[in-house]
Amino acid sequence: MVEGRDSILGRVREALGRPAQPDRGEDGLQGPARPRVYARPDFGGDPLDRFAEKLTAAAGTLVRIEAPDGVPAAVATYLGERNLPARMAIAPALRDLPWPESWEVRFGASAGGDRVGVTPCFAAVAETGTLVLLSGPETPTTLNFLPDHHLVVVRASQVVGYLEAVWEGLRDLPNGVPRTVNLITGPSRTADVEQTLQLGAHGPLGLHVILQMHGG
Amino acid sequence: MAAASLFRQRAAAALADPTLQAALARAQDGFVAKRARALGALPELERMREEACTLKDHVLANLDRYLESYEAQVVRRGGQVHWAPTREDACRIVIEICQRAGARLIAKGKSMVSEEIGLNAALEGAGLEVIETDLGEYIVQLAKERPSHIIAPAVHKTREQIAELFQRHHGYRERLTGVAELVADARMVLRERFLSADVGITGANFLVAETGSNVIVTNEGNGDLTCTLPRVHIVTAGIEKVVPTLEDATALIRLLGRSATGQEMTSYTTFSSGPRRADDRDGPQEYHVVLVDNGRSEMLGNRFRPMLRCIRCGACLNHCPIYAAVGGHAYGAIYPGPMGSVLTPILFPGGTDADLPNVCTFNGRCQQVCPVKIPLPDLLREHREIQYQRGITPPRQRWALALWGALVRHPRLYQILTRWVVGALGLAGRRQGSFRYLPFLGNWTAGRDFPAPQGPTFQAIWRKQERTRRNG
């Protein structure tokens, strides 16, 4: 495939009027300089309220709880309202929460048969009501897409104003950017049949945020 | 000139098809209103467009460097980058990856580049089974058609037509009727295919040089299942998709969803970098990127470079009166609408419909709504100029243009002639107020009456006014 590479890069350099083998030492970029900080939608007020408002506008739902030990009760309420059984796949990262003995819970990835998945997140973005989830052994990606209902635990301290803050956080991770970064804004949807919005196309038809106001 | 008449034939058929007209009217209204709502509340819009434009121009001026650093980052994360100068190269590379992986079933996320390179036919020709998983693409695949819109492939289909397709292909006795039922049905049928697919192929809305990531922006979640469940993930992308950093990608993402569907963020925006990591519980074992040139490096070096800014949002299609009237299939090309009419003659220099650059009224809406400010009308005019220079423009049009050119170069003659013609027409049409037929204007008067001129020419009025002002 070396020929293809040389051919494309050669043609690109020719089009740009550069030498075929540019001098590696010289590092200056050509053309217009791109912005360092981009214009973005301005918003005021409490980021938590903005996050809740935008998430709801994208057909997600949200409940606020005080501390991490309230998560199982919040999950139980969601299941009860939708008549769902207490059977679910949970991200291993949430293993230590006080899950009831009577529930049928499994910690790990999803293979497609789960109705409910529960995961943490890396961050949440107030600008657009977006959740940021990273892949990893403790947080498998399949949990975000295969279950019919995706429940996400968000700590209030994880809510940032804009995506740019998330990127800075990602760069600080010891292993850098993981295999998958999912930005999730509401449940799965399609408008491919007559432009009519329908939730639950291939991914979850329900996206529920459990917003934990205090505690680590 | 056989190809030239094809657009007209297809357009005439499209205009006479009431089902298609109903589908088009619904789509147009929806897209335009949704975009207007999303952008109306955005005072930063003009600055965002300006900056996005600068960003893309910066990347294009340094494309070789960003491609190299992107490649290095993909490799660092355990992925492989393949370079495809032509469509044929791209298909061959993808087929080889699939064959090496011992693949039988390929799941595909929506990718216009894969349409451009004719990937499905190539894979099927190599004995592989391909399933499109975006609902719109799936519908189009079942119907053995092409997408008629770059972001809403099945926008030309009605619910009844889709129901009929599903009944036939899924082998049901009953026909489903509701939108919810149809979507649930596709979900069920495709879920099983996802879980058994060996290779997943997606496109890329952006490639991030800093991290070696490909970004896909979707709503259904099919793209994510496509790049997570199969053993191998292949990305097909044009070389112009690269951006330097995550912040640069973010600036374009803010414009993409708003311009396309009126969404501030789509449901899913996903950054994939390399194969699964050592301890991961899911994700593909192999990660390949196929970088496609297919005419792009040529555009980089000529007057069509601004077209490489395109982020494929579809806003120019949604706001084009021609697209709205005839739909995407009339263009007979992979990319329809204004952006398609600019791209097609370059990407497909052989079998291109010579009418494409000429089916434009130059009303300029496409340029007004373009998030990266591509001067689409100017680029279409460039194509017309090239056609004229190469002698593709039909003789009658050339004579008319030559005559017009001679007239406007002689203002005195022009004034005398127009005064005479306008005077004569005004006199002849005084009684009726309009003409049902005029010689040389048969195409115009076939569809509407030609109004009779009222009073003298604009230039005559202007001169009179100037005289009065100077004297008074």
* pLDDT, tens only, A1-51: 678 999 999 999 999 998 876 655 446 788 889 988 999 999 999 999 999
Report the predicted TM-score, pTM, of the whole model to 2 decimal places: 0.93
Q: How confident is the model at residue B1 (pLDDT cuts 50, 70, 90)?
A: very low
pLDDT on residue A27:
61
Q: Rounded to an integer, what distance in angstroms lies between the CA atom of residue B117 and that of residue B111?
A: 10
- Closest alpha carbon to B346 in B291, B388, B391, B295: B295
Q: How confident is the model at residue B351 (pLDDT cuts 50, 70, 90)?
A: low
pLDDT on residue A24:
55
* Residue of chain A whose Cα is closest to the Cα of B277: A179
Percent of chain A with pLDDT over 70: 95
Q: pLDDT for B405-422, tens place per residue?
A: 999 999 899 989 988 988
Assign residue A72 the CATH number of its domain: 3.40.50.10420
- Closest alpha carbon to B236 in B211, B269, B203, B259: B203
Query: A157 lies in a domain?
Result: yes
**H helix or E strand, kind and range, residue A153:** strand A149-155
Percent of chain B with pLDDT over 90: 78
pLDDT on residue B405:
92
Residue B203 has pLDDT above 90, yes or no: yes
CA distance B32 to chain A (A): 12
Per the CB < 8 Å rule, is B261 touching A176? no
Q: pLDDT for B133-183, tens place per residue?
A: 999 999 999 999 999 999 999 999 999 999 999 999 998 888 898 999 999
Query: A182 lies in a domain?
Result: yes
First vs last C-alpha separation in chain A: 50
Interface of A with B in 99-138 (CB under 8 A): 108-109, 111-112, 127-130, 135-137
Query: A26 lies in a domain?
Result: no
Percent of chain B with pLDDT over 70: 98
Residue A184 has pLDDT above 60, yes or no: yes
ipTM above 0.90, yes or no: yes
> In whole angstroms, how far apart are CA A37 and each of B247, B357, B372?
8, 38, 17
Query: A15 lies in a domain?
Result: no
**Is the CB of residue A26 less than 8 Å away from at least one CB of chain B?**
no
Query: A165 lies in a domain?
Result: yes
Q: Rounded to an integer, what distance in angstroms lies between the CA atom of residue B118 and that of residue B123?
A: 9
* Residue of chain A whose Cα is closest to the Cα of B215: A181
Of B183, B280, B298, the CB nearest to A190: B183
Do residues B172 and B178 touch, judged by C-beta distance below 8 A?
no
Query: A43 lies in a domain?
Result: no
Q: pLDDT for B76-134, tens place per residue?
A: 999 999 999 999 999 999 999 999 999 999 999 999 999 999 999 999 999 999 999 99
CA distance A127 to chain B (A): 9
CA distance A137 to chain B (A): 4
Q: pLDDT for A136-151, tens place per residue?
A: 999 999 999 999 999 9
Q: List the single best residue of A90, A142, A179 to mutate versus B (max B Cβ within 10 A).
A: A179
Query: A148 lies in a domain?
Result: yes
DSSP state of A139: B
Which residue reads 């194969």 in tokens? B275
* Residue of chain B whose Cα is closest to the Cα of A178: B273
**Is the CB of residue A20 less than 8 Å away from at least one CB of chain B?**
no
* Residue of chain A whose Cα is closest to the Cα of B30: A195
* Residue of chain A whose Cα is closest to the Cα of B182: A193
Do residues A121 and A94 touch, judged by C-beta distance below 8 A?
no
**Is the CB of residue A140 less than 8 Å away from at least one CB of chain B?**
yes
**Contact list, A183 vs chain B (CB under 8 Å):** 265, 268-271
More confident residue, B398 or A120: A120
**Is the CB of residue B234 less than 8 Å away from at least one CB of chain A?**
no
Residue B302 has pLDDT above 60, yes or no: yes
Query: Residue B131's beta-bridge partner residues?
Result: B107
- Residue-averaged pLDDT of chain B: 93
Q: Are strands A159-160 and A123-125 parallel, antiparallel or unpaired?
A: parallel
**Contact list, B272 vs chain A (CB under 8 Å):** 179-180
**Is the CB of residue A179 less than 8 Å away from at least one CB of chain B?**
yes
Q: Kindly state the average pLDDT of the residues B269-273.
A: 98
CA distance A102 to chain B (A): 26
Strand order in the sheet with B213-218: A159-160, A123-125, A130-134, A180-184, B268-272, B213-218, B206-208, B242-243
pLDDT on residue B4:
45
Per the CB < 8 Å rule, is A12 touching B30? no
Q: List the single best residue of A14, A173, A195, A197 to mutate versus B (max B Cβ within 10 A).
A: A195
**Is the CB of residue A141 less than 8 Å away from at least one CB of chain B?**
yes
DSSP state of A202: S
Per the CB < 8 Å rule, is A140 touching B268? no
Q: How many domains does chain A have?
A: 1
Parent domain of A84: 48-212
Of B227, B251, B275, the CB nearest to A38: B251
Which residue reads 């005021």 in tokens? A44
Interface of B with A in 379-438 (CB under 8 A): none
Q: How confident is the model at residue B433 (pLDDT cuts 50, 70, 90)?
A: confident
Per the CB < 8 Å rule, is A32 touching B68? no
Of A14, A178, A189, the CB nearest to B267: A189
Q: Kindly state the average pLDDT of the residues B305-329.
A: 97
Domains by residue range for chain B, with CATH? 46-297 (3.40.50.10420), 406-471 (no CATH)
**Contact list, A119 vs chain B (CB under 8 Å):** none
Query: A150 lies in a domain?
Result: yes
